[in-house]
Copies of this chain bind each other. A is one copy, B any other.
């Protein structure tokens, strides 16, 4: 199951230390100008080594298109692309070959398949999301033409959360700091906290929030293709995610029906709602208001501290990870969340035509 989507589909391939990661987009509308610089920039936002709070590994992440584009435009045929893996220092992982790292996928892959590429997590590595970001970038290009804009940001790191709801944030500031939090003071606290944990060889999680503006009424397919169900599935496909909510979400758990309901009103001659606790979705279908949701990421499993676990012979072993790792994936997860939202929305748009 490495394909997502129904009309706009993306099939992903690749392992962390294989030749390449990438995929095939099928169902891309024809005649779209493929802005390679935009796509490359999205990959840059995801790429490791981009700041001092992410892993210092340098990866090029240059996307190479193999098909489906002619004279700069999509032709309606499959768009295949590869992102070559470079500097795969496979030997770095030899000591992990026979060890089941705690809270990684080593053990489950080994049991399910009887074989696994252990280098850098193999297929379960977040490296594969480079391909997702490239596919999402193409979806974004099309959604932009439809007036849909997707913006994600880091909204919580450990116990440090943004203080304002998304309406009060200046979302144009997301890229202005390395943690991708548009509240500058909070951003600094987050950065300091991440740096502290890094120095301890520890890691931390948090939430990425995402706001989607410009979706018209009618996207989403009842009853088993609801907009929120499709978004949740897309988000929980991202490595290390553990939760999803939309609209008021868990923060609104104590609100009564009277407080929660969003009465319809006319605003500027258009149907709108007085509040938007529903997060822009009713009955699984977009209602024309902003769609907003949160994605929960647990703390990264790779820590630079001693841990006890089992090896393949089911013997207890001590493990101490080496090398370069993200103490917090959230800043780099921001473009991944956006990409998966874009892939999901474009598919639902095509379904709703």
Q: A104 — which chain B residues lie within 8 A by C-beta?
A: 282-283
Q: A261 touching B115 by the CB < 8 A rule?
A: no
Q: A263 touching B308 by the CB < 8 A rule?
A: yes
User: Does A30 belong to the interface (CB within 8 Å)?
Assistant: yes
Q: B232 touching A244 by the CB < 8 A rule?
A: yes
Q: B224 touching A237 by the CB < 8 A rule?
A: yes
User: Does A20 belong to the interface (CB within 8 Å)?
Assistant: yes
Given contacts A13-B68, A107-B287, contact A265 B1 (CB under 8 A): no
User: Does A285 belong to the interface (CB within 8 Å)?
Assistant: yes
Say how far A104's CB is from chain B's closest CB, in angstroms: 7
A279 — nearest CB in chain B belongs to which residue? B242
Contact with B along A256-272 (1 / 0, CB 8 A): 11111111111000010
Q: Which of B75, B77, B205 contacts A2 (CB 8 A)?
A: B77
Q: A303 touching B258 by the CB < 8 A rule?
A: yes
User: Does A296 belong to the interface (CB within 8 Å)?
Assistant: yes
A231 — nearest CB in chain B belongs to which residue? B236
Given contacts A242-B248, A244-B245, A303-B258, contact A13 B108 (CB under 8 A): no
Q: Which of B66, B124, B221, B273 contacts A22 (CB 8 A)?
A: B66
Q: B12 touching A78 by the CB < 8 A rule?
A: yes
Q: B66 touching A18 by the CB < 8 A rule?
A: yes
Interface set, chain A 214-255, CB cutoff 8 A to B: 217-218, 220-226, 228-230, 232-237, 241-250, 252-255
- Point out which of A21, A100, A206 has the most chain B C-beta atoms below 10 A from its C-beta: A100
User: Does A67 belong to the interface (CB within 8 Å)?
Assistant: yes
Say how far A242's CB is from chain B's closest CB, in angstroms: 6
Contact with B along A47-87 (1 / 0, CB 8 A): 00000000000000000111110100111111110100000
- Point out which of A2, A14, A79, A158 has the most chain B C-beta atoms below 10 A from its C-beta: A2
Q: A298 — which chain B residues lie within 8 A by C-beta?
A: 247-248, 252, 255, 260, 277
Q: B299 touching A255 by the CB < 8 A rule?
A: yes
Q: B233 touching A243 by the CB < 8 A rule?
A: no
In the bound complex, what is the Cα–Cα distance between A310 and B264 (angstroms)? Answer: 6
Residues of A in contact, count (CB < 8 Å): 137
Q: A74 — which chain B residues lie within 8 A by C-beta?
A: 115
User: Does A309 belong to the interface (CB within 8 Å)?
Assistant: yes
User: Does A209 belong to the interface (CB within 8 Å)?
Assistant: no
In the bound complex, what is the Cα–Cα distance between A274 and B51 (angstroms)? Answer: 35
In the bound complex, what is the Cα–Cα distance between A316 and B31 (angstroms)? Answer: 27
In the bound complex, what is the Cα–Cα distance between A123 and B221 (angstroms)? Answer: 12
**6 closest A-B pairs (Cβ-Cβ)?**
A105-B283, A1-B225, A243-B245, A203-B257, A108-B285, A13-B80
Q: List 28 A-B contacts (CB under 8 A).
A: A2-B222, A2-B223, A3-B3, A11-B11, A19-B65, A21-B67, A23-B24, A31-B113, A70-B115, A74-B115, A75-B117, A77-B113, A77-B222, A103-B261, A103-B282, A104-B283, A111-B218, A111-B285, A124-B222, A124-B283, A224-B237, A230-B233, A232-B233, A243-B243, A243-B249, A247-B298, A249-B296, A353-B353
